[in-house]
Amino acid sequence: LPRFAEPVNNVTVVAGRDVTMQCVVDNLQKFKVAWVRVDTHSILTIHNKVITRNYRIGLAQADGRNWDLKISNAAENDRGFYMCQINTDPMRYQEAYVEVVVPPDIIDGESSTDTVVREGSNVSLTCAASGHPQPHILWRREDGASIARGKLKANSFEGEVLGLARVSRLHIGAYLCIASNGVPPSVSKRIVLNVQFAPVLWIPNQLEGTVVGQQVSLVCQIEAFPIPIVYWTTESGEIIIDNSRFSMKVSLENEYKMTMTLTIRNLSAEFFGGYRCIVRNSLGETDGMIRLYGEWERQLEKGRIPSATLFVGSTTAE
């Protein structure tokens, strides 16, 4: 009687690729070999004839000993058990499972987009993914910094939802949700979190001493988001503009930190006095005064004002 020369093995295929199941029969004689889909009881092939109307299923080989079933462009609905059987009495058969795996894919419609919140708010970033096996989600910051979640701080967190309580400006940045399930390639989605807050201003040196004819730079350091409007005025309130005497520069350190610098060239005594840096965004404003004096005034002014002063912006009511 016919016998199976070797087991019919389970196979795994990535969706969209071809897969072949081998069925080797010795001493077939007058008997016939058939392939059957177990869960639907559908006859796929009988001997060297293809019975199914599924154009993707056929015989890769049918030479009297090797009866290989081929599924082209495998789809998820091909997943299941298949039987290679010989029409002996009783019937002889072997079963094998076809596993169709699917690489992960981010479901944009069910995932968070770029998000803007007020400082102190609670935020939940969601990342939904499809695939088989079901992908797992890993969250990281794009800049490699750690993620703070309450008292927890780590370089990455797992789970479909990344919950952040009472967010601060330190949470500002781009977050990556990475979906993987062992089937390459892994995929990721970039979600930018912006945290809005009223301006805060530091003055490293509130007193600046110099001499006539020299150049001097006055510096204010700022934290604010959205990016603020910044400008300088004289002590009397006159707005300063760039010209041959004054130049202004704003240097961005990151999304919310910046330094504004006022440079005064070829200084003369008439330019001694106060200079105010003013910062304003949609949530509030603040300002700070720097006093510029001649070196001969140093002894009079020394020690009266701290070397570094913090100015917290007044917050605009919602």
> Which residues share a beta bridge with 130?
105
| Distance (Å, whole) CA 100 – CA 79 | 5
| Distance (Å, whole) CA 108 – CA 87 | 51
**Which pLDDT belongs to residue 120?**
96
**Which pLDDT belongs to residue 13?**
98
Sign of CA pseudo-dihedral 183, 186, 187, 192: positive
**Which pLDDT belongs to residue 317?**
43
- List, in order, residues 6 or more apart from 296 with CB less than 8 Å away: none
pLDDT in tens, 110-122: 999 999 999 999 9
pTM of the model: 0.82
Q: Which domains does the chain have, with CATH numbers?
A: 3-101 (2.60.40.10), 107-196 (2.60.40.10), 204-315 (2.60.40.10)
**Which pLDDT belongs to residue 305?**
45
Which residue numbers in the chain have pLDDT < 50? 297-301, 303-307, 317-318
